[in-house]
């Protein structure tokens, strides 16, 4: 029988599931919450299609970076709902205006996240913002192929492993496809978020979470519909804390083959950590880093030049400031104890036993005292420098 990559290396992109002509593969969670492919021996005909397109076993072609920019959307109002410079939103909007479709990530009605097909500006709002958990690709690679074959323009935004899985399933590059990958620190399995929600709220229906925006930075707002249920900064929320320190990521994230300066997508977006602001005026608090990896990537920035502010920077500045362009996130010292505890007692107990909840409880007290001061100084900064 066909052997696919083991759980420790599987990036759970779902490409094998979608390419299988016999529908013999399903991604299943193991006792640690990690997804990996399970093959139904009764259905598998050993055709090998899954091995050929698995981005871990057969990595797709990657590109050297052609150019690097610090950038953001010129319209400040428009930028507000986004995580950094709002570039993903601007490109998505343009695609929809041109009659194309966008595949991006949004919350499901059950509070989880998935890649989904977006055709209207209203639907696009829900895709904004970074969701710090693994997004399910579902059947989106197949659907993308169908749109491309019909000649429709497609924009696909996702993590590098999803873009790699997509190219594997497509089997070739299409002129009407534009891909954007995010610089990715790694993502916790969806099961952890599900278990965390069980602890936070009664019922997941209609729950969404904004982890990061332009105004509040790394601050978590959990909502049920429009009602705000919880607001905490990253240091005072155990889920967020474990994510930021790389304690609870999917196992394969620690050996991610895509955490490098060679990129698979046409464009790469991230935060411009390490931007040398000397000599630069009017740079917002969270500028985006935009890496142009192909001519298609270059073309869309040319088309949007009146809507975006773009400042060309040296690629080495981007690489020096953003660790995920050099290597995967390292395992935290609490990783082992966290996993041991998780397997026996579940997510919240593991956060407790590793001391994360207690650290966050103390941080929450500090946050409540410091928060008014933080906003006072941030608003001062904004009124003098931001726009
Ligand atoms: C799990 C994760 C880890 C990240 N780690 C880093 C990092 O270490 N360093 C860094 O510089 N940047 C990181 N980013 C990227 C960064 O947070 C911003 O998403 C990026 O700069 C784009 O900002 P924007 O304002 O242009 O996007 P927005 O306009 O806010 O749009 C965000 C886009 O990201 C997509 N998206 C959101 N969550 C997910 C998800 N879970 N899976 C797939 N697609 C998603 C949305 O569909 C949307 O298209 C990470 C993002 C995620 C989701």
Angle between helices 160-170 and 140-149 (to 10 degrees): 50
In a domain, 140, yes or no: yes
Q: What is the pLDDT of residue 387?
A: 44
What does the angle CA 317 – CA 322 – CA 324 come to, to the nearest 5 degrees?
135
Q: Is the per-residue pLDDT at 380 higher than 70? A: no
In a domain, 6, yes or no: no
| Ranges assigned E (strand) in the chain | 25-29, 35-39, 67-73, 101-107, 113-118, 154-158, 177-182, 207-210, 219-224, 227-233, 267-271, 288-292, 308-313
Neighbouring residues of 134: CB distance < 8 A, sequence distance ≥ 6: 12, 35, 113, 187, 188, 189, 190, 250
Global pTM reads 0.95
In a domain, 350, yes or no: no
Q: Is the per-residue pLDDT at 376 higher than 80? A: no
Contact yes or no for 32/336 (Cβ under 8 A): no
Residues facing residue 288 across a β-bridge: 71, 271
In a domain, 174, yes or no: yes
In a domain, 160, yes or no: yes
Residues facing residue 72 across a β-bridge: 309
Task: Count other Cβ atoms within 10 Å, centred on residue 218.
Answer: 18
Site residues for ligand 1, CB cut-off 6 Å: 82-89, 104-105, 113, 127-132, 135, 157-159, 182-185, 187, 269-271, 288, 322, 324
**Quick one: average pLDDT of 311-338?**
97
pLDDT tens figures, 123-144: 999 999 999 999 999 999 999 9
Ligand 1 atom with the smallest distance to the CA of 87 is 26
Q: How many domains does the chain have?
A: 1
pLDDT tens figures, 189-248: 999 999 999 999 988 889 999 999 888 889 999 999 999 999 999 999 999 999 999 999
Task: Count other Cβ atoms within 10 Å, centred on residue 248.
Answer: 32
pLDDT tens figures, 18-31: 999 999 999 999 99
Choosing from 81, 83, 111, 123 the residue with most ligand 1 atoms within 8 A of its CB, the one to mutate for a pocket test is 83
For residue 273, the CA-to-ligand 1 centroid distance in Å is 14
In a domain, 92, yes or no: yes
Contact yes or no for 55/11 (Cβ under 8 A): yes
- For the chain, what's the residue count? 387
For residue 82, the CA-to-ligand 1 centroid distance in Å is 9
Percent of the chain whose predicted confidence (pLDDT) is above 90: 85
Contact yes or no for 301/67 (Cβ under 8 A): no
> What residue owns the CA closest to ligand 1's atom 8?
185
Q: Is the per-residue pLDDT at 326 higher than 50? A: yes
* CA atoms within 13 A of residue 18's CA, in its CB half-sphere: 25
For residue 357, the CA-to-ligand 1 centroid distance in Å is 26
Structural domain range at position 300:
67-190+248-325
Q: What is the pLDDT of residue 77?
A: 85
Residues facing residue 221 across a β-bridge: 210, 231
In a domain, 199, yes or no: no
In a domain, 107, yes or no: yes
């Amino acid at each position: 029988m066909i052997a696919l990559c083991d759980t420790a290396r599987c990036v759970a992109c779902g490409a094998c599931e979608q390419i299988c002509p016999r529908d013999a593969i399903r991604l299943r969670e193991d006792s640690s919450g990690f997804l990996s492919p399970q093959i139904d021996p009764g259905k598998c005909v050993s055709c090998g299609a899954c091995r050929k397109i698995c981005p871990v076993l057969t990595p797709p072609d990657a590109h050297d970076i052609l150019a690097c920019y610090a950038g953001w959307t010129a319209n400040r109002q428009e930028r507000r709902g986004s995580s950094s410079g709002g570039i993903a939103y601007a490109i998505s909007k343009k695609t929809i205006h041109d009659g194309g479709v966008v595949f991006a990530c949004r919350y499901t009605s059950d509070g989880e996240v998935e890649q989904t097909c977006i055709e209207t500006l209203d639907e696009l709002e829900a895709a904004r913002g970074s969701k710090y958990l693994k997004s399910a690709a579902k059947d989106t690679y197949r659907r993308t192929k169908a749109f491309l074959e019909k000649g429709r323009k497609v924009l696909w935004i996702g993590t590098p492993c999803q873009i790699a899985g997509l190219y594997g399933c497509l089997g070739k590059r299409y002129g009407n496809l534009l891909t954007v990958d995010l610089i990715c620190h790694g993502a916790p399995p969806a099961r952890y978020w599900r278990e965390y929600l069980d602890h936070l709220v009664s019922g997941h229906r209609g729950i969404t979470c904004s982890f990061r925006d332009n105004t509040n930075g790394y601050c978590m707002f959990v909502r049920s519909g429009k009602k705000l249920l919880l607001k905490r900064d990253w240091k005072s929320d155990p889920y967020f804390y474990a994510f930021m320190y790389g304690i609870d990521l999917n196992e394969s994230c620690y050996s991610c083959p895509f955490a490098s300066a060679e990129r698979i997508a046409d464009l790469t977006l991230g935060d411009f950590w390490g931007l040398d602001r000397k000599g630069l005026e009017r740079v917002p608090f969270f500028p985006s880093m935009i890496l142009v990896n192909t001519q298609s990537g270059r073309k869309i920035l040319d088309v949007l030049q009146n809507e975006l502010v773009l400042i060309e920077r040296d690629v080495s500045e981007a690489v020096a400031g953003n660790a995920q362009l050099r290597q995967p996130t390292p395992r935290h010292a609490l990783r082992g104890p966290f996993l041991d505890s998780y397997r026996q007692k579940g997510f919240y107990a593991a956060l407790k036993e590793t001391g994360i909840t207690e650290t966050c409880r103390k941080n929450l007290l500090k946050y409540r005292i410091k928060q008014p001061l933080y906003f006072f100084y941030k608003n001062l900064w904004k009124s003098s420098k931001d726009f």
